[in-house]
Amino acid sequence: MARRKDGGHSGGHGWFVTFADLMGLLVAFFVMLVAFSTQDSAKLQVVAGSMRDAFGVQDRVRYSGIIEVLGLPTRPKLKNAAHIDPSEASATPSPDEHDRQRSYGARFKEDRKFALASASLRQALQDMPEITEVSKHIMIEETKQGLNIEIVDQDGRSMFPDGMKQPYERTRRIIQKLAPALKAMPYRLSIVGHTSASPIPPKPGYGPWELSADRANAVREILAGEGIPSGNIFMVAGKADTDPLFPDNPSMTPNRRVTITLMREQPPIPPDLTP
């Protein structure tokens, strides 16, 4: 067999260089996988919610949590979703189209005010890092009645002791943190307590109706202690388990909640107005 005249091998292992390049690419790929798997999902969800508010997605009904948690399921559809009359989207305007446009403009302006109120409430909670974990119990939902602030229970972490009307200290601190923002807003407040459906019979003389009403009133007392005048309170009530947050599962833990609503009300009619 003839020998090569150049004295043997040329010294360059081409396959080894290719193999090293492949190993380098694989290492970089796995480093990227690890980096993406350890991202702060809570912060990303907060940013996503803020972006939705900033760009005005869904100007009629809006659902977003302070921090949207995987343990708190999203309802399949929103409650109190307003039906949009087809004439409002018609390409052929009717004689009173201008009146409807003025009305829609007023509603849109009000919705933007509620979006700003929602952002202010989020900021109030995020400015207090020591209660960030507890603030995951807060959900904000815009409805036909106004802007709902839901203080909800989660599995294994309730906001009120079982069967008691006074909240835990962590719950009290959240309500106290929300109070200055609520006081600065030009809306009256409705406070409603709710319970979940339970197969356990209530205590004689003190059932879910009394408990839900007492919890709502306890929240009112905390807000009053923070300077919110009684004239700003529209209503305090208890609804027991008649209005679940998740109608498909009335016994679910998040159905136990207290709802503070910034009421959407028509402006008062001046006394000297004549038709």
Instruction: Note the pLDDT tens digit of each residue in 7-39.
Output: 555 555 678 788 888 899 999 888 877 776 666
Q: Quick one: which of 209, 215, 207 has its CA closest to 158?
A: 215
Question: How far is 263 from 94, CA to CA, in rounded Å?
Answer: 31
Q: Which of 41-50, 70-79, 221-230, 253-262 has the lowest mean pLDDT?
A: 70-79
Q: What's the average model confidence in pLDDT over 30-57? A: 65
Domains of the chain: 61-69+110-263 (3.30.1330.60)
Across the chain, mean pLDDT equals 75
Cα-Cα-Cα-Cα torsion 259, 117, 133, 168, nearest 10 degrees, comes to -40
More confident residue, 49 or 179: 179
Cα-Cα-Cα-Cα torsion 156, 148, 70, 154, nearest 10 degrees, comes to 10
- Which is it for strands 233-238 and 189-194: parallel, antiparallel or unpaired? parallel
* Full-model pTM: 0.61
Burial code of 169-194, b = ≥16 C-beta within 10 A, e = fewer?
Answer: eebbbbbebbbebbeebebebbbbbb
Q: What's the average model confidence in pLDDT over 242-259? A: 91
